């Protein structure tokens, strides 16, 4: 069994799909791990560290892919990389299957068996494999750090002989994994934190972190899907939500926006009118920018200033913490592959009946087999 890892070629991507620790674990299962030279440099992992763990270093992507049975990736391979992956191989990574721009025919033409980790069912057994949670956690942390670095004010209250500096006020929109970590990080820095979410179930979590929960009085009992994600709300709710966010933003120094709806454009939560009423010099970090943005004035991978408000639109926050993001991601992939694709006798055998396999299986034998993705792609066509 040969497992190949290529250097990530997407702009701004510093992560790698394996760590020295994961190499040791895969080789203990009897797998040969081959890594393209320089693949870990963006995460401060030298080739020698991989070699010491038991991996082989290939001089280029072609050598790494030669006769590979499994290819692990962070983001989907480029067309040039895909051309090197052997037909019929297994590809495991974050393949953005719900993105309307994702072309799944690239995998079907080569009859690749692909597993997209974003589709992992949200059940307790899958927690150690959950790449969305491990990476979103770091995204929430990094969002606050970047906002503070851009902001021209200290965060905690400071009492000096020259006077008292009041604490900064931070509003977090969306209390999922990224939002909760943003709340915790802002609180640790000494900010006064408020948070908004359409799901009443997260209120207790927000308050347990010391933040105020901002909620819309509404008849709709729950804004949560069966999978635990936020769902799209009614027009009446959206109107009340917009009014509340508008009023709250007027007094805030920093806003971290994390609201996403799987398979749909990000909801617009911060309008042009709201920007005009925010404090001069305040900062917005739009973590939903890659899906259209919670603030339509945000610009992909840029910092823009609109009506005196600084808007940060970095699309790949986990990559900005790659030294920690890569080992966590690698551990997620190892737990998925080792648990579901190796037997107790350390032989490679995919458990096709397992719900985690069927839940993440994207393409197989030249066809798109995931029901939800097939439906979305069919509707888009």
Residues carrying an active site annotation: 122, 127, 130, 133, 229
CA distances from 197 to 101, 260, 264 (A): 28, 11, 17
Q: Is 30 helix (H, G, I), strand (E, B) or coil?
A: coil
| Burial of 44 from C-beta contacts in 10 A (0-12 / 13-18 / 19+) | exposed
Question: What is d(CA 318, CA 330) in angstroms, rounded to the nearest whole number?
Answer: 13
Q: Which residues contact 228 (CB under 8 A, 6 or more apart)?
A: 122
First to last CA, the chain: 37
d(CA 91, CA 117): 11
3-class secondary-structure state, position 140: helix
Q: Which of 156, 291, 151 is nearest to 230 (CA)?
A: 291
For residues 205 and 360, give the distance between their C-alpha atoms in angstroms, rounded to a whole number.
28
Distance of CA 132 to the CA centre of its chain: 5
Rounded to 5°, the CA angle 53-138-225 comes to 115
Helix (H, G, I), strand (E, B) or coil at 157: coil
CB-CB contact of 37 with 63 (8 Å): no
């Amino acid at each position: 069994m040969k497992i190949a890892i290529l250097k990530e070629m997407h702009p701004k991507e510093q992560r790698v799909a394996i760590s020295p620790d994961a190499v040791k674990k895969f080789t203990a299962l009897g797998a040969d791990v081959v890594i393209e030279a320089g693949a870990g440099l963006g995460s401060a992992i030298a080739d020698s560290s991989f070699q010491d763990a038991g991996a082989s270093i290939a001089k280029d992507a072609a050598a790494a892919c030669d006769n590979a049975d499994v290819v692990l990736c962070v983001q989907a391979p480029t067309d040039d990389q895909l051309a090197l992956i052997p037909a019929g191989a297994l590809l495991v990574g974050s393949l953005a299957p719900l993105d309307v721009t994702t072309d799944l025919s690239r995998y079907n033409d080569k009859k690749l068996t692909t597993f997209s980790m974003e589709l992992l069912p949200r059940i307790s057994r899958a927690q150690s494999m959950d790449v969305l949670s491990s990476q979103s956690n770091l995204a929430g942390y990094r969002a606050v750090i970047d906002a503070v670095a851009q902001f021209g004010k200290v965060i905690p209250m400071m009492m000096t002989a020259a006077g008292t500096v009041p604490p900064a006020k931070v509003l977090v929109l969306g209390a999922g994994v990224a939002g909760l970590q943003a709340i915790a990080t802002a609180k640790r820095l000494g900010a006064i934190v408020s948070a908004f979410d359409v799901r009443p179930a997260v209120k207790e979590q927000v308050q347990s972190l010391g933040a105020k929960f901002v909620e819309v009085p509404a008849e709709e009992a729950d804004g949560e899907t069966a999978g635990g994600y936020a769902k799209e709300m009614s027009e009446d709710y959206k109107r009340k939500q917009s009014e509340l966010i508008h009023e709250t933003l007027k007094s805030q120094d920093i806003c971290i926006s994390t609201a996403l709806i799987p398979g749909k454009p990000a909801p617009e939560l911060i309008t042009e009118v709201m920007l005009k009423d925010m404090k001069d010099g305040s900062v917005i970090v739009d973590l939903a920018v890659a899906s259209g943005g919670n603030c339509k004035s945000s610009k992909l991978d840029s910092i823009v200033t609109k009506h005196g408000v600084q808007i940060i639109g970095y699309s790949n926050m986990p990559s900005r913490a790659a030294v920690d993001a890569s080992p966590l991601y690698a551990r997620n992939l190892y737990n998925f592959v080792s648990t579901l694709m190796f037997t107790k006798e350390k032989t490679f055998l995919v458990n096709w009946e397992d719900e985690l396999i069927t839940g993440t299986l994207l393409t197989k034998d030249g066809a798109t087999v995931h029901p939800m993705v097939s439906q979305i792609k069919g509707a888009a066509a």
